[in-house]
Structure 1
Amino acid sequence: MNSWFSPKTEKRTSPIEGRGLFARQAISAGEVVAVKGGAIMDSAAFALVRNQVSPGEIQIEDDLYIAPRTAAEVETNILCLNHSCRPNVGVRGQISFVAMHDIPAGSELTIDYAMIDGDPAERMECSCGAPECRKVITGGDWQLPELRRRYAGYFSRYLQERFVADRA
């Protein structure tokens, strides 16, 4: 299953990295900009294709991912939402990506990977330039109290449920 993109968006070369998703027209706060598509697979199945399809996946449960099945499916599945420590897109539920505030035409749509990535092995350097830039982004950033407050209501359901489990 392919990902869905709002007709108000387009993929193109990004000044952040590689390709990004951009607003072709103004997007209102709360508007859905993309819905993640792909095959649902367990960790073992994902491990077999990870090197071919990453970073086109999102984790939706402890042992489940939505990802392209093959390298040929990456283009129709990858969202091209680059990371920023000052994002304008968050998650509603598991697979819907929404504008966190009004986004003017021409803007790149970005997400803080802390909203969707809970894999402790993930680590990348960040040079987004935002005053709140963390410099190093990890799969454990979703646990930071400041980010939990800042992005309340915009974490994936999977990570939101992990917050609740942490409190128990």
Structure 2
Amino acid sequence: MSTIESILAAKLNSHVTIQETAKGRGVFARKKFVKGETVVVGIPIEEVSQRTIYSFQMDFNLHVNLDEPAVVINHSCYGNTGVKNNQFGGYDFVALCDIKAGEEITWDYETTEYESIAVLECLCKSPYCRGKTLGFKFREQILRDRYGEYIADYLKTKRK
């Protein structure tokens, strides 16, 4: 990541904070976000040769590690943010509803992962909890219906 990207990311992400939770570290709003507002800008810090529980899938054969705070946003089967590809080669996390100051920022890992290995036992406690993450491949219609345009660009096209 270049110095300019680092400075920009720090400025863009200044309205969230990382805190310890019962699930580990998480990201929390320092201000109110309105539906449609970008909450976190995730910038890639490196490509990785294979998926990990911390990597983000950008294409069928491309996984990257994103910077903080993006990398510590926790999963929810009914996330309050959705993802949009950004100009840095990472993801923006966009509010799907109004988010109150102090509220935890969450996203659905299956909106970027074609096959997911990240969550073997989900702790989201959402009424829509699916128990674990499997990946977009296994829940395509559910995810398209819930998140619409807020899924990874590569998942918007059919796999070749």
Q: TM-score, normalised by structure 1?
A: 0.75
Contact map agreement 2:136 2:143 (CA 8 A) in 1: no
> In 2, distance between residues paired with 1:128 and 1:9?
20
Displacement after TM superposition at 1:142 (Å): 5.9
> In 2, distance between residues paired with 1:156 and 1:102?
22
- 1:46 maps to 49
Please identify, of 108-117 and 133-142, the stretch whose mean Cα deviation from structure 2 is larger.
Answer: 133-142
One-letter amino acid of the structure 1 residue matched with residue 111 of structure 2: M
Among candidates 100, 104, 110, match of residue 106 of structure 2: 110
Q: Cα RMSD between the aligned structures?
A: 2.6
The SS at the match of 1:124 is coil
Aligned residues: percent identity?
A: 31
> In 1, distance between residues paired with 2:91 and 2:97?
18
One-letter amino acid of the structure 1 residue matched with residue 33 of structure 2: I
One-letter amino acid of the structure 2 residue matched with residue 64 of structure 1: L
For structure 2, the residue ranges without an aligned partner over 5 or more in a row are: none
Per-residue CA shift, 1:68-112, capped at 9, x if unaligned?
6xxxxx7x4753110111210101125111111110000000001
For structure 1, the residue ranges without an aligned partner over 5 or more in a row are: 69-73
Among candidates 33, 41, 61, match of residue 27 of structure 1: 33
Poorly superposed stretches of 4+, deviation over 3 Å: 120-123, 140-144
Displacement after TM superposition at 1:9 (Å): 0.5
Pair 1:87 & 2:75 matched: no
Among candidates 9, 21, 31, match of residue 16 of structure 2: 9
The SS at the match of 2:113 is coil
Contact map agreement 1:115 1:142 (CA 8 A) in 2: no
- 1:71 maps to none
Q: 1:142 to 1:153 in 2, by over 3 A?
A: farther
Q: TM-score, normalised by structure 2?
A: 0.78
Per-residue CA shift, 1:100-138, capped at 9, x if unaligned?
111000000000111111135555111322111111211
Higher helix share: 1
Q: 1:123 to 1:110 in 2, by over 3 A?
A: closer
